[in-house]
């Protein structure tokens, strides 16, 4: 695990929206936002950034000595003859601390099924990386039903081995909210989180990190209950918005102990 169960995770992925030079300039701005908040060094809020593969070596150098954790957008499931893939062991060697696995776009457009996702999760854990497992329902519906879908996706991703699940960070991203003008409502997300934690609690994982993604933006985190942070997209491509969300996360921390905005943790 990257940190303790009550830590808040605030992260952002660039997907394929930025070129190389633009990515480096943006990373400089992101580092400045993090450096301006020395309270992050306490580890109660963990910021992470996930740029494109070619940016990783330079990003690792830029992030050295900062609180930012470097992540990758995908990985292969092993070393070997897999043309065009990047192994988790190489990502770890490059300085990545986490890797995004199972994003809805990978599942839909690249035909990644539960079996492949499980292989990637296992390989990432074996390489010392924290899998950022992306899960979520396709359509708006009942929050309890959505939580059941998410729970089944988590179970499949760890092949039923809950000791592996304890090493994940979950990115709950309703597919219908990804790229939408607005995120899912705070009430909906909070109800999904509560029901999901109830199911995870049967395996001793009620305090598992579950961050929300899907058009997440500043102002959302204070409204959520039972959520361990935000996985931001295009809204954080403006580095100042990333800083605003970090401030919201830090506001939940006291001088005595870390906590989340959750009432259910």
Active site residues: 103, 173
From residue 97, alpha-carbon distances to 39, 68, 246 in Å are 21, 10, 19
Residue among 104, 39, 47, 103 nearest 70 (CA):
47
Residue among 215, 236, 178, 244 nearest 11 (CA):
236
Helices (H), the chain: 20-35, 56-63, 88-94, 104-109, 114-126, 143-157, 162-165, 186-201, 239-250
CB 52 within 8 A of CB 16: yes
- For the record, the structure tokens of 234 come out as 């295009």
What is the Cα Rg of the chain in Å? 17
* Phi-psi group of 11: left, alpha or beta (phi > 0 → left; psi -120 to 50 → alpha; rest → beta): beta
CA 221 to chain centre: 14
DSSP states along 72-86: ES---SSSSS-TT--
State the Cα–Cα distance between residues 57 and 61, nearest whole angstrom.
Answer: 7
149 DSSP 8-state letter: H
């Amino acid at each position: 695990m990257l940190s303790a169960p009550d830590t808040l995770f605030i992260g952002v992925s660039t997907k394929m929206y930025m070129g190389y030079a633009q990515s480096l300039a943006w990373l400089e701005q992101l580092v400045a936002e993090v450096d301006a908040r020395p309270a992050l060094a306490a580890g109660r809020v963990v910021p992470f950034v996930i740029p494109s593969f070619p940016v990783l070596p330079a990003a690792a150098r830029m992030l050295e000595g900062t609180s930012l954790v470097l992540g990758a957008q995908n990985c292969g499931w092993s070393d070997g003859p897999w043309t065009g893939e990047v192994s988790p062991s190489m990502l770890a060697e490059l300085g990545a601390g986490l890797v995004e696995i199972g994003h809805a776009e990978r599942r839909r457009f690249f035909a990644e099924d539960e079996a492949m996702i499980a292989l990637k999760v296992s390989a990432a854990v074996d390489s010392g990386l924290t899998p950022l497992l992306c899960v979520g329902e396709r359509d708006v519906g009942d929050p309890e039903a959505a939580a059941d879908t998410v729970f089944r996706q988590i179970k499949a991703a760890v092949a039923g081995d809950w000791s592996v699940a304890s090493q994940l960070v979950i990115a709950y991203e309703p597919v219908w909210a990804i790229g939408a003008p607005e995120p899912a409502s705070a009430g909906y997300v909070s109800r999904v989180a509560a029901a999901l934690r109830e199911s995870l609690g049967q395996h001793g994982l009620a305090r598992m990190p579950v961050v929300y993604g899907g058009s997440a933006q500043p102002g959302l985190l204070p409204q959520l209950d039972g959520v361990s942070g935000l996985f931001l997209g295009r809204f954080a491509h403006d580095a100042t918005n990333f800083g605003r969300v970090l401030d919201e996360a830090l506001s939940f921390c006291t001088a005595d102990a870390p906590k989340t905005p959750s009432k259910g943790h």
